[in-house]
């Protein structure tokens, strides 16, 4: 009398579970639009279609960043405006930054529809097939033009280009090169900052308790200053990890 309903519930759960990539992304899309008061079934269908056409039927090592231009355009028509003075970039601080951003009302790429839809997902297609895959896809460094890497490059470029007012970046002060020229932050985002709408970039350099690292003692941050050029103001604050519990930088 007890086992049967449990088995039934499990089977039903497996059937209703959004296991396909399409279900997962459409579910995220609907959740997001509802939460932001922009619900529309149609938009999520449209978004799925433009996402799909970026990589389906293609060799998974031959999907360049601009394959996502149509998706980015579609999403920008549905989604909200950039939030000036609250935009936050990051490099090597993924978990910390999202917790901090949520608590202190900053917005990262992953808080916007585009990033929210695809964060922590893997996908690819195959030439000669209409299918989408979530396993057996090339990983980040297997080949340059893979669907996931190309997506994040183009999404990051668009996010950075929209940064306005005072922007922030959370970097890891416990590693050798908090500002690493090979990172997406350095190689894509910084290059797309638009000094006609953005005023400053403040580095939050997160350090371990008791670490004596300063903004000035870090060599890599000198390169960031250089890369920002003279039209964007550079600031930097050391934030001991424990201070991330407060919204002290305000
Ligand atoms: P990072 O080096 O911490 O990389 C960010 C993410 O990209 C990683 O969590 C991983 O999923 C992937 N990645 C990057 N290099 C990789 C590698 N060599 N092997 C496997 N996976 C790799 O920081 P970053 O490169 O400076 O990128 C972060 C910045 O760019 C943020 O400001 C964000 O706006 C954007 N971004 C976000 C994501 C994401 O997964 N949400 C990915 C890339 C870029």
pLDDT band at 28 (very low <50, low <70, confident <90, very high): very high
Mutate-to-test residue for ligand 1 from 185, 201, 220, highest number of ligand atoms within 8 A of CB: 185
Q: How far away, in angstroms, is 9 Cα from ligand 1 center?
A: 38
From atom 37 of ligand 1, which residue's Cα is the shortest distance away?
152
Sheet of strand 233-240, all strands in order from the earlier edge strand to the far edge: 88-91, 165-172, 198-207, 233-240
Q: What is the pLDDT of residue 82?
A: 84
Q: What is the pLDDT of residues 115-164, one digit of tens each?
A: 999 999 999 999 999 999 999 999 999 999 999 999 999 999 999 999 99
Cβ 121 under 6 angstroms from ligand 1: no
Q: Which of 29, 164, 215, 236 is catalytic?
A: 164
Q: What is the pLDDT of residues 93-120, one digit of tens each?
A: 999 999 999 999 999 999 999 999 999 9
Mutate-to-test residue for ligand 1 from 184, 187, 193, 220, highest number of ligand atoms within 8 A of CB: 184
Active site residue 164: yes
pLDDT band at 234 (very low <50, low <70, confident <90, very high): very high
Return d(Cα 35, Cα 49) in angstroms, integer. 22
Average of pLDDT values for 25-29?
Answer: 96
Active site residue 61: no
**Contact (CB, 8 A) for 19 and 91:** no
Nearest to 72 by CA among 187, 162, 197, 138: 162
Q: What is the pLDDT of residue 215?
A: 97
Cβ 140 under 6 angstroms from ligand 1: yes
In our burial notation (b when 16+ CB lie closer than 10 A, e otherwise), range 149-172 reads: bbbbbbbbbbbbbbbbebbbbbbb
Return d(Cα 197, Cα 166) in angstroms, integer. 9
Paired tokens of 166: 């005072």
From atom 27 of ligand 1, which residue's Cα is the shortest distance away?
184
Cβ 138 under 6 angstroms from ligand 1: no
Return d(Cα 244, Cα 209) in angstroms, integer. 12
Cβ 90 under 6 angstroms from ligand 1: yes
Atom nearest to 180 CA in ligand 1? 26
Return d(Cα 95, Cα 130) in angstroms, integer. 35
- pTM (predicted TM-score): 0.92
Cβ 183 under 6 angstroms from ligand 1: yes
Q: Is the pLDDT of residue 51 over 60?
A: yes
Cβ 115 under 6 angstroms from ligand 1: yes
From atom 2 of ligand 1, which residue's Cα is the shortest distance away?
92
ipTM above 0.90, yes or no: yes
């Amino acid at each position: 009398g007890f086992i049967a309903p449990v088995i039934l519930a499990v089977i039903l759960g497996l059937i209703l579970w959004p296991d396909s990539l399409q279900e997962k992304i459409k579910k995220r899309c609907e959740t997001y639009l509802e939460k932001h008061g922009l619900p529309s079934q149609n938009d999520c269908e449209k978004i799925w279609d433009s996402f799909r056409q970026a990589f389906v039927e293609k060799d998974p090592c031959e999907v360049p960043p601009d394959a996502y231009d149509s998706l980015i355009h579609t999403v920008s028509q549905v989604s909200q405006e950039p939030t000036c003075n609250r935009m936050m970039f990051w490099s090597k601080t993924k978990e910390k930054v999202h917790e901090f951003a949520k608590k202190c009302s900053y917005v990262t790429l992953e808080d916007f529809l585009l990033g929210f839809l695809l964060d922590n997902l893997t996908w690819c297609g195959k030439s000669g097939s209409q299918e989408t895959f979530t396993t057996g896809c090339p990983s980040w460094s297997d080949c340059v033009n893979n669907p996931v890497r190309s997506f994040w490059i183009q999404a990051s470029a668009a996010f950075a280009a929209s940064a306005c007012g005072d922007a922030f970046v959370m970097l890891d002060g416990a590693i050798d090169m908090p500002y690493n020229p090979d990172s997406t932050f350095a190689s894509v985002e910084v290059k797309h900052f638009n000094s006609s709408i953005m005023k400053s970039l403040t580095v939050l350099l997160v350090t371990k308790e008791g670490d004596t690292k300063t903004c000035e003692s870090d060599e890599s941050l000198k390169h960031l200053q250089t890369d920002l050029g003279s039209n964007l103001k550079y600031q930097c604050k050391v934030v001991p990890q424990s201070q991330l519990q407060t919204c002290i930088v305000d």
